[in-house]
Amino acid sequence: MAEDVRMALAGLLRKAEADPSTDVLREGVRVLAEAVMALEVEQHLGAARHERTPERTGQRNGYRERAWDTRVGTIDLRVPRVRDGSYFPGLLEPRTRAERALAAVVQEAYVQGVSTRRVDDLVKALGMEGISKSQVSRLCEALDAEVERFRSRPLTAAYPYVWLDATFVKVREGGRVTSQAVVVAVGVAEGGAREVLGVDVGPSEDGAFWLRFLRGLVTRGLRGVRLVTSDAHEGLKGAIAAVFHGASWQRCRVHFLRNALALVPKAARQLVAATVRTAFAQPTDDAARRQWRQVADGFRDRWPRLADLLDQAEADVLAYLAFPPAHWRQLWSTNPLERLNKELKRRTDVVGIFPNADAALRLVGALLAEQHDEWQVGRRYFSAESLAALEREGEPPPALAAD
């Protein structure tokens, strides 16, 4: 192995001498990264290339191209493949869990004989032909343990703000393809960083499912919630009221506008949306509420149903006004979760139809665990100072119901 690296670096130096425009630093990183992956594969399989040993546990299966973003730019790597799809380079963290989860889902569908054309194409692209059910079972068990540790971890901080939303995936059950709800909770902890608090997959987005999910969060330690932002799904609203005692509820303004625009002719929707948004542009609580009522009164003669909806929804859509103005833009909608759900849909659409609900939870859970990890080292959603001011302004955070 050392000899291979030496020869590769020597070749890089010769290339640089012949072509001064060669980016030696980037090429050097690529050479060393591919050498590290070659060594990892050798250790993973228990044998060098073309070596026959009793300890060998699998077979190499060519390479796949992978772009790797680094501090010296994007590097095109040749990533080794093994036949059962169980090798993922350590240097490509933090994306390994999601890639392993996708491989596990694809393999499970393949070995169970319920794969679609999309899955069949993935099997060929990833070089997974000829895998056994026992290999797939071991991979799934390892991933399920990782996802379950993430989903059941204790929640030790206070989370003043929580966002809740759901998306849907297709799952094969009992010979039929059904739509299953993926529910996700995201919160902001006392230090200002976002966290994925929980995720679950169930047969429908009903009140009982949401209630069980939210009670599970409280059992794990969720506390200090002051505001919950979600859409106006009746089952979800009831579950929030039952679990988050003393917390305010913010009706997502994006979902509200969709409901409102459904009450007016298509030609008038752009005007109505722009007019309603003028309330959100006001700089103070009093100005926003005055503008909201003026907008409602302005629509009353022409679209009385729209005006009635504005009257009924005022307190819920403007709940964010009771919190620091610096937080308003992040609080008044579920946009933080909408963007996350779009990424989930993009990744789950690669599979199309999941072989079972466990497979869906495995992939979604791995994706969310990685997003959670990235949020911990990225830019904070709110400053710690502004959240500390929130605590000083109000009463102590309410206790939550766990029963």
Question: 331: closest CA among 236, 219, 214, 249?
Answer: 249
Q: Quote the crossing angle between the two packed helices 357-377 and 335-348, to the nearest 10°.
A: 130
What gap in Å lies between CA 393 and CA 198, rounded to an integer? 28
Nearest to 295 by CA among 309, 315, 316: 309
Helix or strand or coil: residue 168?
strand
State yes or no: cis peptide before 94, omega within 30 of 0.
Answer: yes
Residues with Cβ within 8 Å of residue 338, at least 6 apart in sequence: 165, 254
Query: Residue 397: what pLDDT?
Result: 46
The CA-to-CA distance between both ends of the chain, in Å, stands at 59
What pairs with residue 77 in β-bridges?
Answer: 66
Give the phi and the psi of residue 245 in degrees, each rounded to 5. Answer: -60, 130
Roughly what angle, to the nearest 10 degrees, separates helices 96-111 and 117-126?
120
> What pLDDT does 47 receive?
82
- Dig out the tokens for 343 from the structure: 């990424």
Q: Which two tokens stand for residue 259?
A: 């409901």
Max intra-chain CA distance, the chain? 84
Residuewise pLDDT in 10s, the chain (403 residues): 455 656 666 666 676 667 766 666 677 778 778 887 888 888 878 888 778 777 777 788 788 777 776 666 778 888 887 765 566 676 665 445 556 655 655 555 544 544 545 545 555 555 555 555 666 666 677 778 888 999 999 998 899 999 999 999 999 887 789 999 999 999 998 888 899 999 999 888 888 999 999 999 999 999 999 999 999 999 999 999 999 999 999 999 999 999 999 999 999 999 999 999 999 999 999 999 999 999 999 999 999 999 999 999 999 999 999 999 999 999 999 987 888 888 888 878 877 888 888 888 988 888 898 888 888 766 788 887 888 777 665 544 444 554 4
> What pLDDT is recorded for position 402?
47
Amino acid at the residue 74: T
Helix (H/G/I), strand (E/B), else coil: 181: strand
